[in-house]
Amino acid sequence: MSEKTDLYSLAAQRLTEYMKGKNIRKTPERFEILRVICQISGIFSIDELQVYMEKNAKFQVSRVTLFNTLKLLEDATLVIKHTLARAAHYECCITPHPMVCLVCQKCGTVRKLESSKIENWLSEQKCKQFVITQPVLYFHGLCRSCIVKNSIRKRQANKNKKIQKK
Ligand SMILES: [Zn+2]
């Protein structure tokens, strides 16, 4: 069995227990969405999940089902929701670990920063009267493609200024 299959069986077991406790109906759609989510490494938006579903799911579900299932998985603490700049981003958190996210304030893309130093520091943090379940740190800034676009725009604006002066 692969690591991802292991992750899914653990996640499916937890979802089953959660739904049993809440009297929520077990539907094949919910488990298929969870299975696909377990194959994604990293952060994804609902649009990206839809693309993953189209490519990898055994059957297709509506966007409403996707949205509702994400909410359910979030309640069941199987998925963490990052509420960032534009669209919400989600991530599988069956085995939570500290992380650093880079959020582009221009285009809204989110990616993980690989830094074991900060991750170690995050995992050591303790708060009084507060239990940390998911240590996440966000850095807001500009991604590479937005920096490039910005500098092209600036260069173009400067050029236009020079032309106007002439
Ligand atoms: Zn950007």
10 Cα: distance to centroid of ligand 1 (angstroms): 35
What pLDDT sits at residue 14? 94
Question: Which of 95, 110, 141 is a domain's end point?
Answer: 95
54 Cα: distance to centroid of ligand 1 (angstroms): 26
User: Residues of the chain with pLDDT > 90: what percent?
Assistant: 51
Question: Which of 65, 80, 95 is a domain's end point?
Answer: 95
Asked if 65 and 111 sit in the same domain, the reply is no
140 Cα: distance to centroid of ligand 1 (angstroms): 10
What pLDDT sits at residue 110? 83
Distance CA 163, CA 96 (A): 56
Asked if 34 and 84 sit in the same domain, the reply is yes
Distance CA 164, CA 143 (A): 32
| pTM above threshold 0.85 | no
145 Cα: distance to centroid of ligand 1 (angstroms): 6
Q: How far is CA 129 from the centre of its chain?
A: 28
- Closest Cα partner for 99 from 129, 135, 73, 124? 135
CA distances from 71 to 33, 57, 74 (A): 12, 19, 5
105 Cα: distance to centroid of ligand 1 (angstroms): 7
What pLDDT sits at residue 131? 87
164 Cα: distance to centroid of ligand 1 (angstroms): 30
Amino acid letter, 105 = Q
Pairing verdict, β 79-82 and 89-92: antiparallel
Asked if 106 and 78 sit in the same domain, the reply is no
Asked if 73 and 143 sit in the same domain, the reply is no
What pLDDT sits at residue 86? 65
**Boundaries of domain holding 127:** 96-166
Residue 22, classed as helix, strand or coil, is helix
- Closest Cα partner for 99 from 110, 85, 87? 110
104 Cα: distance to centroid of ligand 1 (angstroms): 5
What pLDDT sits at residue 29? 95
42 Cα: distance to centroid of ligand 1 (angstroms): 18
Tokens at 83, concatenated: 């509420």
In the chain, what are the helix, strand and coil shares in percent, each to the nearest 5?
50, 15, 30
pLDDT in tens, 4-40: 778 899 999 999 999 999 999 999 999 999 999 999 8
Four-residue CA torsion sign, 15, 17, 18, 20 = positive
CB-based contact 107:118 (threshold 8 Å): no
All residue ranges of the chain with pLDDT < 50 are none
